[in-house]
Amino acid sequence: MVPFRQFLLKIHSRCNLACDYCYVYESADQSWRDRPRTMDLATVRRAAALIAEHARAHALAEVQVILHGGEPLLVGAARLEALLRVLVDALDGVAALRLTLQTNGLRLAEDPALLPVLARYGVRIGVSLDGTPASHDRHRRRPDGRGSHAGVARALRLLADGPYRPLYAGVLCAIDLTADPVETYEALLEFAPPRLDLLLPHATWHTPPPGLPGRTTPPSAPPGVDPEEPVPYARWLCTVFDHWYEAPSRRTGIRLFEEISVLLLGGTARSESVGLAPVDLVVVETDGTIEQADSLKVTYPGAPATGLDVFAHTFADAARHEAFRARQRGRAGLAPVCTACPRAEVCGGGLYAHRYRPGATPTPFAAPSVYCPDLAVLVDHIAARLSRDVPAVVASARSVSG
């Protein structure tokens, strides 16, 4: 049994944005409609006790608790402080507690009471930002249609400069093919993020990625070099990679590129997106139900569900659940076309949700990623760059993997 080390708590299930690509509100699974807006403190206490029990049982030196939503900061400063106190007290003397929070950023600038609370508990903050003002506001709008970039920019400036800089974990950016890749990267750098995550839009063989409406049939053999194959996401990412790689003095960490590099150099990356490391993240919804990763919401209604909850079950029960075990089998859990591919150890079949194809056997996730051709080109591109410079990069790459 692989123990969980990451516990994602949905402390608020609604949002103050209406992003058109949101995997929670705009996808196949609509279970959020039947859940309470806010996680009750009794649920927080029970989840915290179970996290401590799990850490103690597996002698974990550290656990990570991720506060998520919806928009988690909608709970307000007083409720946020109360639930953070519960978590800290429960893990005291059991395991080091690493607290992080993922937010759209708006409340950080609107409510001056929030950042002092987060600072008191050392909560690291990740903020979603989709590049330039025009690119960001194309998708990440308020419910009344107004853009949100200006508000997010104010929040990021609070984090980038001054006393709250130590809380700044980085920026998440969803890739938009209509946005220039270099302009997007430069716009993100304006806020001096310690790290960037460039995220492929959640998509499946049933609901193909934006810009690739015809990608509905998985490859029957490992991808080769086919100049006719449309790989716009690879082209976008390779452009950013080259710009990033060739300007080390202005470089920030980009998780996807770093993890692919580490894997190519024989290291181990801890990511759901690439590599074969077993999944060690579990989700607790506002009502206490225990679920798999939110990305599965894009596949079909009820896909993340396990039938478990924190009041009647433990995280050991969840770790034994077949849904989690299926995502911890490494190479043996990949589709045949993936196991035959020389990139399998690096690509890892791609994000589990992106493999979904109705009718695939033995499970609907027994297919390569819908981004398979793009991932192949990206991996090969990075490998070619590293092969020329490996003596110079191997030491830094190993430090990333460690």
Question: What domains can you pick out in the chain, each with its CATH number?
Answer: 6-401 (3.20.20.70)
Mind listing the pLDDT tens digit for each residue in 104-125? 999 999 999 999 999 999 999 9
Which residue is listed with tokens 């029957």?
Answer: 220
Q: What is the pLDDT of residues 302-361, one digit of tens each?
A: 999 999 999 999 999 999 999 999 888 888 889 999 999 999 999 999 999 999 999 888
CA–CA gap between residue 207 and residue 216 (Å, rounded):
8
Cα end-to-end distance, the chain, whole Å? 23
How much is the pLDDT for 225?
59
Which residue, 137, 161, 132, 157, is CA-closest to 147? 137
Dihedral angle, C-alpha 267, 324, 257, 187, nearest 10 °: -150
Q: With helix as H, strand as E and coil as C, how does 30-45 read?
A: CHHHHCCCECCHHHHH
Mean pLDDT of the chain: 93
Q: What is the CA radius of gyration of the chain?
A: 20
pTM score of the predicted model: 0.93
Nearest Cα neighbor of 171 from 148, 199, 146 is 199
In the predicted model, what is the mean pLDDT of residues 276-281? 92
224 Rama sector, left if φ>0, alpha if ψ -120 to 50, beta otherwise: beta
The pLDDT, as a whole number, for residue 269 is 82
